[in-house]
Structure 1
């Protein structure tokens, strides 16, 4: 019990918020996915990025290091995922993306906040920013077979990241009224992300169970292996190391299911990967947090 008790304040809020979404679906209450998605991606998350990075004591060098580390994590994860797909003889084009891109937003950001505070959230946001750009550009291009530059450039998250970088590089602070406004708007992002995660999990069906569970477990292994390779290659220490490893261990992102549906890439199996990897992560992530000394 002494090993589990310190992790309860980190894991329990995530489980309870996601459970609201699950029960919401079970009670057959309406949930406008498109409205919530647009609200979170266009208002809540950009406000969270600018508001958090704009007030957190993170240097330009540290932010650059975090972005570089994120790219390394994705690169190593992609290498391990591609090798796994070849060895297991599964369709590389359908499963490379869901194996590489974890739930860095809906689950990763709350974990970073509850485990490591504002500094952890700031680093987690840097990881989320770069992985989101790559996911919806290169990742979508792999699934669709064509470049997706226009879609990326239309995302408010990209511009929020640019504004945050300008603030950090110039050591600027936002006016208090604007900072408070961003804090209010950014505050809605994480709860809505978790409730949406729960709604999605409650709505998805587990198809091709054996294959889905196997690939779901593989995502957790590939992601964490990519994280460890990145921290070893870059010799990361401290909170940066812990946050990168925590983000790398997140389960398959729900967005992978949406993209698989859009581009007709074995969406049923990807849905099963989301469900199975998320359920397993409620055990694997507490183990990782204990390993990280949280």
Structure 2
């Protein structure tokens, strides 16, 4: 009973905030996703990442191990999802990238914070940054046939990660007044991302949901297994291991749908995957947290 209550306390705020966005749209109120997303990804999230890394009290060796484990976990997920797509005779351009890259920002960061505290958030932003780098290079190549190293370098969240890692490595800290200001900006990120997630899901039009549900179930099995295998292989501590497993197991990101639209893939099946995997995560992520918290 105590475990169930603990898991509920962790997951309920996440899905309630997403529900706010969902209901907001259904009531007919305006919500400019492009503006909010740009503010979150250009300003709020980079500030959140920088402060989290600067303040995290973890040995650099532990963060290095988590970084390597993240690359290995995503490598395993890529192999597993590639086999799945080929075995099911699905279009690689449409299905592969969405099945690999989860919603580590909108959903993974809040879950890590609520489940594991500030240390967990620090770990989570490392996994999030690695996923973003892979998504903007290999992920875009999968969808469009061309990666974008220049785009990776230009992403504020990548710069914030590198700068935060430098401050962590050197033991530097920004002046207190500046830290407080950056923290205030960063605190906008999680509510904005969760509400926007609910808005985006509410606006998606989906078809052929049976296939999307089946693929979502297989995806979460592959991702959870890959996260656990990588965490075990690198001997991560319990918090780092839990964060890695949860982050890798997050549902299909809404950005996968936007990339499919932009680069000419079939966007409707991707929309179905977003909705199906997000709804499935309401059941699956609490179960995962019950084992890793």
TM-score normalized by the length of structure 1: 0.96
Question: Corresponding residue for 2:172?
Answer: 172
Higher alpha-carbon deviation: 114-123 or 199-208: 199-208
Determine the C-alpha separation between the residues in 2 that align with 1:88 and 1:141: 21
> Which stretch has the larger CA shift, 208-217 or 138-147?
208-217
Residue deviations 1:123-152, cap 9 Å, x none? 001100111111111101211112312222
CA distance in 2, matches of 1:162, 1:8: 34
Give yes or no for the alignment of 1:106 onto 2:118. no
What's the counterpart of residue 194 of structure 1?
A: 194
1:254 equivalent in alignment to 2:254 = yes
Task: Supply the distance in 2 between the matched residues of 1:180 and 1:66 (Cα, whole angstroms).
Answer: 28
In the alignment, which residue of structure 1 is the partner of 2:64? 64
Aligned to 1:268: 268
* TM-score after normalising by structure 2: 0.97
Query: Which residue of 1 is the match for residue 209 of structure 2?
Result: 209
Q: Distance in 2 between matches of 1:122 and 1:3?
A: 24
CA–CA distance in structure 2, aligned partners of residues 34 and 151 of structure 1: 18
* Alignment-derived partner of residue 280 in structure 1: 280
Partner Cα distance (1:147, 1:46) in 2: 22
Once the two structures are superposed, what CA deviation does each residue of 1:177-226 show, in whole Å capped at 9, x if it has no partner?
Answer: 11101110000000000000000111112212222222222221221122
Query: Separation in 1 of the partners of 2:170 and 2:236?
Result: 25
What count of residue pairs does the alignment treat as equivalent? 293
Q: How does 1:89-238 map to 2 (within 5 A)?
A: 89-238=89-238
Q: Is the 8 A contact 1:56 1:122 kept in 2?
A: yes
Aligned to 1:8: 8
Distance 1:221 1:92 in 2: 19
Unaligned runs of 5+ in 1: none
Structure 1 residue 58, shift from structure 2 partner: 2.2
Contact 1:97 1:139 in 2 (8 A): yes
Shift of 1:59: 2.4
Superposed CA RMSD in Å reads 1.2
